[in-house]
Amino acid sequence: MKKGLILLTATLIIGGVWLTGCTSNEPPVIDSLTADTLVTQGKMVAITCTATDADEDDLIYIWEATGGDFEDPTDESEIVWEAPYEAGSFTITCNVTDDEEEDQVSSSITITVAADYFPRDIGYKWFYLDDFINGLGNDDTLHFDAEIVGVETVDED
């Protein structure tokens, strides 16, 4: 009888710990990372990281970039990135963890900053055929709504 009581007590303790104290923390999941992926130099770009947590824990966002600058605050799910004044491709990474800080997940997006092209004559619209930017085919034309309003010439004499 005494052995049965000890076994019952041990079973209840183990069962209670299992039901209440052994819950595992699920890591967050990044559902999407969105932004304009082709921008001009110096442009302010809104970037949104949509993440969820099965445990409904508070999420912590940490952003990284291979160039350009972030506007404050940088610990939110949506941030503003200022494109650098140089052409190239830049990787923006969003790292997300929950307030348990056990697991971190990451997602990255590449943003291409276009070169600084200028049309030659007043009144012409600026456009160029893009063969080097990913996602556009050879028949796609990239248009910018820019118009020259004046030209200054330099006498080289």
Q: What is the mean pLDDT of the chain?
A: 78
Domain boundaries defined on the chain: 29-115, 117-157
C-alpha distances in Å from residue 35, one per residue of 42, 69, 77, 80, 142: 15, 15, 12, 10, 18
Per-residue confidence (pLDDT) for residue 116, from 0 to 100: 72
Smallest CA-to-CA distance from 50 within 73, 79, 26, 10 is with 79
Using 50, 70 and 90 to split pLDDT, how confident is the model at 134? very low
Instruction: Provide the CA 113 distance to its chain's centre, in angstroms.
Output: 15
At 69-111, the pLDDT tens digits run 999 989 999 999 999 999 999 999 999 999 887 889 999 999 9
CATH architecture under which domain 29-115 falls:
Sandwich (2.60)
